[in-house]
Structure 1
Amino acid sequence: MSDWMDHLTIAPIVVPLLAGTLLLLIDDRRRTLKATLAVGSALAMVALAVLLLLMADGTVGGEAGNAGVVRIYRLGDWPSLFGIVLVLDRLAALMVLLTSVLGLAALVFSLAHWQRVGPFFHSLFQFQLMGLNGAFLTGDLFNLFVFFEVMLAASYGLALYGSGIARVRAGLHYVAINLVASLLFLIGVSMIYGLAGTLNMADLATRIAGLRPEDRALVEAGAAILGVAFLVKAGMWPLGFWLPTTYAAAGTASAAIISILSKVGIYAVLRLWLLLFGEGAGDSAGFGGTWLLIGGLLTIAFGSMAVLATQNMARLAGASILVSSGTLLAAIGVGQVEVTGGALFYLTGSVLAVSAFFLLIELVERGREVGADVLAVTREAFGEAEEPTDDGEIGTPIPATMAILGISFLACALLLAGLPPLPGFLAKFAMLAPLLNASGAMPATSWALFAALILSGLATVVAMTRAGIDVFWASPGSEVPRVQVTEIVPIGLLLGLCVVMTIEAGTVMRFMEATAQSLHGAQEYVRSVVPPSKASGMTGGGAP
């Protein structure tokens, strides 16, 4: 059984690739067929992702140790150090599952309207999923770059999907910024390869400790340049200035799925920093950790100010992504296993909440005057959105529409602000508890993180309360939105998963803590990818 199960590792890449290619060959006028195939692919992806998570955890097809089960898929059966290798562990499986769930929710939501706005929506969507899954599963830096570019190329099309000057302007800025980030990615990878002689992540981990001092400085410089490319995508201050505008201008379904792109940058930083600059990296151990912590704190501060400053709900959602990215970067920079476990719990809950909020925004603003949530003094500065027109009104009134939307909005507010009893609060508690319980005096940076998490939550409460009052109580002449069941169900799915995380918090947290332990102790990952003789560098041997 294990033979065929090994091939499932590549399935999250192959399934959307084949589906996207097939959808390109079908005429856009056959919308029902294309939608059926796209949703079928998304459902298959969710099922595959659940199975892969169970496999990585050792529940299915193996016995888990502390690091779980690390499965290796060597394309063409070439050795890891020479061929393309995919690696499935708990973290990769978690991110693939998160991507699949978001993909299904956004795709179902798009069936009501967005699939009809322009051509090739479903193909772009599938290629987006392919790039995301490939980035999470790849085991070497070159193919990480390849999947980054596939992911970004699809996101360019999704960000520009539809009409409107604001969308085109923001989309072109997004393209230009990410092209510069891709150039930095190539420069950093080239420097690392020129000095270390490999791009396989596990092999790099065995070689870092044995580098000569003169080579070590250049490898660290290459890693820093590579880190800047990741942090641009993660939205760290001052590199994330583009993010709120781009996400606010994108179409609703597009914004819901590309919102996870910022977490791809977080994933890359978390994976590479702990693998290459962990305890086994010799003199390079902990390289850049202080900058991650400081940059994360500054990003939280900038994101909190953006949350308070904006009068537009779409920009509020984009600013909330900055706050979540800053929180994750600061938690990673602390470098403690327990804090990393809480950060993974926070990552999962925040991605689900922000995506649900993006979907919800279109529904609560439907029927309102365009720009009704912008105060008169700032209306001209923000401008009025230009949405693509379509055949007639979208959806039909359903019973208790405003009550459903109001409850969903309240749930999003609680999740984004990190208030009890939902996952945002539990995750922040899990991150702060190890800092407060540490022996000795707590460092100033830990106090700063404590204050940042509390104040950012307060800022989000103020902003969401103001937005909720304006939408549900103070908007004159607003009509009951006309919505379809296919638009309500995806929001309910995402928020329902957050409720499940709350109910099963103990089980979920144990998985996150086990994932964090395997990330901080990367020996099992390295031994699974490279031969034992090569993995000896993890214990600080000589140069390979």
Structure 2
Amino acid sequence: MNLAQHLIIAPILIPLVTGAALLLFDERQRTLKAMIGLASTIAIFAVAIALFRFADRIDGPDMAQQGVYLLGNWAAPFGIVLVVDRLSALMLVLTSTLAIPALIFALARWHTAGVHFHSLFQFLLMGLNGAFLTGDLFNLFVFFEVMLAASYGLLLHGSGLLRVKAGLHYIAVNLAAALLFLIGVSLIYGVTGTLNMADLAVRVATVGAEQRMLLEAGAGILGVAFLIKAGMWPLNFWLPPAYTAASAPVAGIFAIMSKVGIYVILRLTLLVFGEGTPSSGFGLHVLLIGGLATITFGAIGVLASQALGRLAGFSVLVSSGTMLTAIGMGSGGITTGALFYLVSSTLTISAFFMLIELVERGQDAGASVLAVTMEAYGDADAEDEEEEGGGGFAMPGTMAMLGICFAACGILLAGLPPLSGFVAKFAMLSAMLNPAGGESVAPVPAYIWFVVFLIILSGLSALIAMTRSGIRTFWASLEGTAPRVLVIEMAPVLMLLFATMVLTVQAGPVMRYMDATTEALSATHHYIDAVTGARRVGAPGPEVQP
């Protein structure tokens, strides 16, 4: 094995070792723990970039020799395998891109609000990276539980009545999802005798008609577990309160957690239930209808939200609903645009969660409620000031910077040009309205027009909500003062928004990568051959598979 192959396990080992080592330090050594945690997170980012470049080179027929890591040197399907391809490498880069700004933001004050913050943060990264790399369903459950266990501690970090209440609901819902995960995996194993994803894709074709219903029942239960995590309606009642109650840096990294469910659904849908399989298209109509319902629910929630935190929480639902709808439509061109949208929306929402704390720091308690009252009944004092010709004020530099970042988030969430949110939605809508790429003039089905209308309407909802909140916050502040913002807090927001700018400028190369990712996901034989054909170290020849 070459060095690049050994790097495949590094995104799991680095946070595991770092998180365990940080437990040995006293909590009073916060500066040392912070520096070690930050160094680890930067190292994970560097490894993710290396694997990203590596996957871009080896995806395809050469993947069997280089893109699979056999843990314990056991050949699949008996041993646990880690697999890196374009999709998993993309998710690794996205995770580490969010992790660095979130951790830097936490260093201002949040990492001192409770114990073991840095260990929990590293274990969360371990669970996320492991979920994206594993090629085995049971191992996916293990990493899923590591991720959830760390997220429980991070959500409750800082205490407070609302945070504890939302945290307990979050724990209960995710424990139920974990139980469904086990039930679904058990049914699938009982029918096929394997949990290796590649081997499962092969054996699904051999399942008899009398057992296929049981297999699909297991897949459906497993899907519900991940749809809970993805936030599909009506399984998403827990998400806005939990994300709103979390501290700003925790909510920033939580923006990727709903995408774990999206990732697994996309992976298994194309690999196990893709074209040419006996259960081809299984569950796609559920994803389509559920995705549309989630977009509708999220858009209504965005319009109804008076608090910025809830607005951001419902924006997560709009993002998840758009992704589920794209997957449910089963089109490669739509999936390409959806992957671009996944990256753009995740970066934006993460930046927005951290920006909200900075913006609200200068507001009085209950300012949002008072603003709503003023809209309904007016403000006599303000009218008197206008009559006297007063009421103007000079906006400080801090508020100007926050206002620019707030406007950028609004443009990205609404999908307005010229930023990456517009590019992503334009790519998706173009693929919906012109699936043949200009080679055909077939009429567009009515349901496609409804999907297009709903996606545009969700963007309009975000624009209205963000404009309304921006006016209240920056133009009609109720005795608010300019917040005290540290450079270490402003820099992470700017880093994430800069990443969206890079996506916009490099939209061509990024879209080509997404298109290649979609093609690789559709060519399932490459993934299957890579895993089943991977050779053990020191083996004299190709492995003989059972």
| 1:334-413 equivalent positions in 2, closer than 5 A | 334-375=329-370, 400-413=397-410
Contact persistence 1:297–1:449 (CA under 8 A): yes
Listed one character per residue, the Cα deviations across residues 31-69 of structure 1 (whole Å, up to 9, x for unaligned) are: 1111110110111111111000000001xxx58669899
Amino acid corresponding to residue 136 of structure 1 in structure 2: F
Q: How big is the shift at 1:133?
A: 0.3
For residues 138-537 of structure 1, the aligned pairs below 5 Å read: 138-282=134-278, 284-375=279-370, 400-438=397-435, 439=440, 440-531=442-533
Partner of residue 394, structure 1: none
What residue is the counterpart of 2:387 in the other structure?
Answer: none
Q: Give the CA deviation at 1:306.
A: 0.2
Conservation of the 8 A alpha-carbon contact between 2:60 and 2:520: no
Structure 2 CA distance, aligned partners of 1:237 and 1:67?
37
| 1:103-133 C-alpha deviation (Å, 9 max, x unpaired) | 1110000000101101100000000000000
Deviation for aligned residue 1:399: 7.5
8 Å CA contact retained: 1:293, 1:330: yes
Match status 1:102 vs 2:104: no
Structure 1 423/497 Cα, relative in aligned 2: closer, same or farther at 3 Å? same
Q: Report what 2:4 is aligned to.
A: 5
* Structure 1 residue 444 displacement after superposition: 2.6
Q: CA deviation at 1:378?
A: 8.8
TM-align CA RMSD: 1.9
**8 A contact 1:67–1:518 mirrored in 2:** no
How many Å separate the matches in 1 of 2:514 and 2:62? Answer: 12
Question: Residue 68 of structure 2: SS of its match in structure 1?
Answer: strand
8 A Cα contact 2:60 2:526, kept in partner: no
The CA distance in 2 between the partners of 1:420 and 1:36, in whole Å, is 39
The 3-state SS of whatever aligns with 1:280 is coil
Distance between the aligned counterparts of 2:282 and 2:259, measured in 1? 21
1:531 CA drift (Å):
3.5
Q: Is the 8 A contact 1:277 1:285 kept in 2?
A: yes
The separation in 2 between residues aligned to 1:329 and 1:134, in whole angstroms, is 22
The residue number in structure 2 matching 1:385 is: none
1:56-83 superposed Cα distances (whole Å, 9 cap, x missing partner): 001xxx5866989961000111011001
Q: Which residue of 2 aligns with 1:387?
A: none
Deviations 1:413-465 (A, max 9, x none): 01111111111111111111122113422223211210111000000000000
| Structure 1 SS opposite 2:320 | helix
The DSSP-based 3-state class of the residue aligned with 1:73 is strand
> Retained in 1: the 8 A contact 2:367–2:478?
no
Q: Could you tell me which runs of 5 or more consecutive residues in structure 1 were left unpaired when the two chains were aligned.
A: 380-397, 533-543
* Structure-2 change in CA distance of 1:326 and 1:215 (3 Å): same
**Structure 1's 28 and 422: CA in aligned 2 closer, same or farther, altered over 3 A?**
same
Q: Distance in 2 between matches of 1:485 and 1:119?
A: 24
Query: Contact conserved, 1:56 with 1:70, CA < 8 A, in 2?
Result: no
Superposed CA deviations along residues 255-300 of structure 1, whole A, max 9, x for unmatched, are 1111211100100100111111001312x00111111011100000
Q: Which residue of structure 2 aligns with residue 91 of structure 1?
A: 87
- Counterpart CA distance in 1 for 2:16 and 2:315 is 31
Q: Look up the equivalent residue of 1:56 and give its one-letter code.
A: A
Can you list the C-alpha shifts for 1:130-173, whole angstroms capped at 9, x where unaligned?
A: 00000000001000000000000000001111121111000000
The 1:236–1:449 alpha-carbon spacing in structure 2 relative to 1, beyond 3 Å, is same
Q: CA deviation at 1:520?
A: 1.6
Q: Find the aligned partners of 1:217 and 1:146 in 2 and give their Cα distance.
A: 27
The amino acid across from 2:424 in the alignment is: A
Contact 2:64 2:530 in 1 (8 A): no
Q: Distance in 2 between matches of 1:503 and 1:239?
A: 37
Give the Cα–Cα distance (whole angstroms) in 1 for the partners of residues 123 and 450 of structure 2. Answer: 40
SS of 2:277's equivalent in the other structure is: helix
Corresponding letter in the other structure for 2:300: M
Distance (Å, rounded) in 2 between the aligned partners of 1:339 and 1:185: 28
SS of aligned partner of 2:276: helix
Counting only pairs closer than 5 Å after superposition, residues 14-163 of structure 1 correspond to structure 2 as: 14-58=13-57, 62=58, 71-163=67-159
Structure 1's 423 and 210: CA in aligned 2 closer, same or farther, altered over 3 A?
same
- Structure 1's 515 and 314: CA in aligned 2 closer, same or farther, altered over 3 A? same
Distance 1:509 1:168 in 2: 41
Residue identity opposite 1:310 in structure 2: S
Structure 2 Cα separation of the partners of residues 368 and 114 of structure 1: 19
| CA deviation string 1:192-227 (max 9, x = no partner) | 000000000011111112210011111011000000
For the Cα contact (< 8 Å) 1:67–1:515, is it kept in 2?
no
2:63 and 2:530 in contact (8 A); partners too: no
Determine the structure 2 residue equivalent to 1:382.
none
SS of the equivalent of 2:236 reads: coil
Quote the offset at 1:374 in angstroms: 2.9
Distance (Å, rounded) in 2 between the aligned partners of 1:31 and 1:441: 62
| Partner secondary structure for residue 524 of structure 1 | helix
- What are structure 2's unaligned runs of at least 5 residues? 375-394, 535-545
Query: Structure 2 CA distance, aligned partners of 1:35 and 1:360?
Result: 22
CA distance in 1 between partners of 2:261 and 2:204 (Å): 22
Distance change (3 Å), C-alpha of 1:298 and 1:375: farther
- Report the AA paired with residue 315 of structure 2: S
Aligned length: 511
Q: Is the 8 A contact 2:239 2:313 kept in 1?
A: yes
Bigger radius of gyration? 2
Provide TM-score, normalisation by structure 2: 0.91
How far apart are residue 373 of structure 1 and its match? 1.9
SS of equivalent residue, structure 1 residue 457: helix
What residue in structure 1 maps to residue 537 of structure 2?
none
Distance 2:252 2:64 in 1: 31
TM-score under structure 1 normalisation?
Answer: 0.91
CA contact (8 A) 1:57 1:64 kept: no
Contact 2:124 2:150 in 1 (8 A): yes
